[in-house]
Structure 1
């Protein structure tokens, strides 16, 4: 097991709190709805791309460890 339950809880808690604070701030923003929508879509896109990027980096690093023969092949 790589992470303790406490660390996993802290990671999920920070992630959920960050999203909550982002959207509470958007809700309280005194701008027209289309501006709030633009920021909301931008925030959602940023969240998804961060998750995909961290998974891709992790998978690539695990592949280097588990399959070192793939490292020497030309791209």
Structure 2
């Protein structure tokens, strides 16, 4: 018997590629917009810091929401098993 389990991903490769593609596309648009902006370097730096902060915090928020949901599911599964055993 072969007990090796196949690794299963939640998202299809096409959806993953679309997500990363759109991310790279919009980061590119932000950089082009900052490059062509007719403002001093200080203003461009302020906008760039805001964009980088927004991007990094959106990754963090999505990870926290996902982790909290997984923890809630695991918590419910543990107590559901305990109810079955009693």
TM bucket normalised to smaller:
0.7 to 0.9
Q: What TM-score, normalized by structure 1, do the two folds share?
A: 0.88
Q: How far, CA to CA, are the matches of 2:41 and 2:64 in structure 1? A: 34
List alignment gaps of at least 5 residues for structure 1: 70-75
RMSD of equivalent CA atoms:
1.4
List alignment gaps of at least 5 residues for structure 2: 1-8, 79-86
Q: What TM-score, normalized by structure 2, do the two folds share?
A: 0.77
Bigger radius of gyration, 1 or 2?
2
Name the structure 2 match of 1:30: 38
Q: Deviation per CA, 1:5-60: give whole Å up to 9, x if none.
A: 00000000011111110111011000000000000000000000000000000000
